[in-house]
Structure 1
Amino acid sequence: MPGPAPDERPHPEGRRNLEGNRIDPVVEASHDTRRAVISALVEDEPGVLARVSGLVSRRQFNIESLTVGPTTVEGHSRITMVVEETDPGIDQIEKQTAKLKPVISVGEVSGNAITSELVLLKVEGDEPDKVHAVTEMYDGTALDADPETITVQLTGDESKIDDALDAFSQFGIIEIARTGQTALAQGNVPTAPGEKPGTAGEPTTPTTE
């Protein structure tokens, strides 16, 4: 049938919502993005991390980091995601993650989350005394040193890590590895919905609220 070629036809813009309908980019832009820390308790099943990260990537959400590790309950792990999204986007991440079978509970960490990450960086070893001085300034640890390179370990919140990396840049950073942030809620506030801090208690059935 006559008509424009495929590459000449108009193409819709924006991503799709949960119902499969495309989101108007103008409407979506009306919401400001913000950073959120989302904590998910999951059952230790093969591929659970891939399922969570795959869901986030398919929905084209802006994820900054993702970490996973064991909890106080055997057979459970905690996944921590840091995302830069609109409020509707953050809400959809929580709802869609909660629908995954291995997910026990998921929610944004309320209040001022206590966050930390681990960083390994390798710098040139031309000025070892200065490198060690900066390492001590940021409570780091020198893990390895030879005439050419020095490898340092740092831990702390994002602001501290960024400041430290700026300080180490004067020596020439050769390689760097960052774990991404992990987080817990302050005080006796649950980090994930239904979790009971201080008692090693975690919800045993999926929470979708």
Structure 2
Amino acid sequence: MSDGLQGPAPEERPRPEGRRNSQGIRIDPEVEAEPEPRRTTITALVENEPGVLSEVSDLFSRRQYNIESLTVGTTQNPEWSRVTVVVEEPDPNIEQIEKQLDKVVPVIHTRELGSDAVSRELVLVKMDADEPERVHAITEMYDGTTLDAGPRSVTVELTGSEREIDDALDALRQFDIREIARTGKTALARGETKTSIAPDRLK
């Protein structure tokens, strides 16, 4: 007669998957919520040579990261360029973006900028010229400039933070906007903090 129920040995029993929360309840990894994405700005100092922007763009394309904008321009050193990327991704992906960018050979230094960074973008807006005086008044209200005014169209320039640009565009949409050209964000760290750090061999 058996002393008890027969079953697999302890080491043969299936182990439940998933971590336990603070109450000790095990969470199914398949239903555990994914980290929430957040919008942030990443800046990369790169060597100014042919193909660098293509390499950076290919990295984002291969990994299928969600890019909001990407800008590139020269710096105080003509041998360097600064790439500014705005992404919306969960924290683990943001960390991976920085690590992967650092592996690109022409990249000198990469970092995520804080929310207090000094940032600006520029937009050109072409509209119908039916009400040029009202267009001019709203453009001035947002510290913009009229670049071209003709009998049929008006083109203005606006510079500011992302929110300021969005607000200005909302105000101008009443004038039948024909075309918009928006640069995307460029940014530097605030105060004495260095935006990028170049190795001594490159200074």
TM range (shorter): 0.7 to 0.9
Provide the C-alpha distance between the structure 2 equivalents of 1:144 and 1:30, rounded to a whole number of angstroms: 48
CA RMSD of aligned residues (A): 1.7
> 2:160 matched to 1:164?
no
Match of 2:64 in 1: 60
Number of residues of Structure 1 aligned to a counterpart in Structure 2? 174
Aligned counterpart, 1:38 = 42
Alignment of 1:127-166 (within 5 A): 127-166=131-170
Q: Which residue of 2 aligns with 1:97?
A: 101
Choose the corresponding residue for 1:203, options 177, 184, 199: 199
**CA separation of 1:122/1:101 partners in 2, compared to 1, >3 Å: closer, same or farther?**
same
Q: Percent identity?
A: 59
Structure 2 length normalisation: TM-score? Answer: 0.82
Return the alpha-carbon distance in structure 1 between the equivalents of residues 151 and 31 of structure 2. Answer: 56
C-alpha separation in 2, matches of 1:174 and 1:111: 33
In structure 1, how many angstroms separate the alpha carbons of the residues matched to 2:31 and 2:96?
Answer: 18
Amino acid at match of 2:120: S
Q: Which has the larger radius of gyration?
A: 2
Quote how far apart the aligned CAs of 1:203 are. 2.8
C-alpha distance in 1 between matches for 2:40 and 2:132: 38
- Please, which runs of 5 or more residues in structure 1 have no aligned partner? 1-23, 195-201
Q: Return structure 1 stretches of 4+ with deviation > 2 angstroms.
A: 24-27, 202-206
- TM-score, normalised on structure 1? 0.79
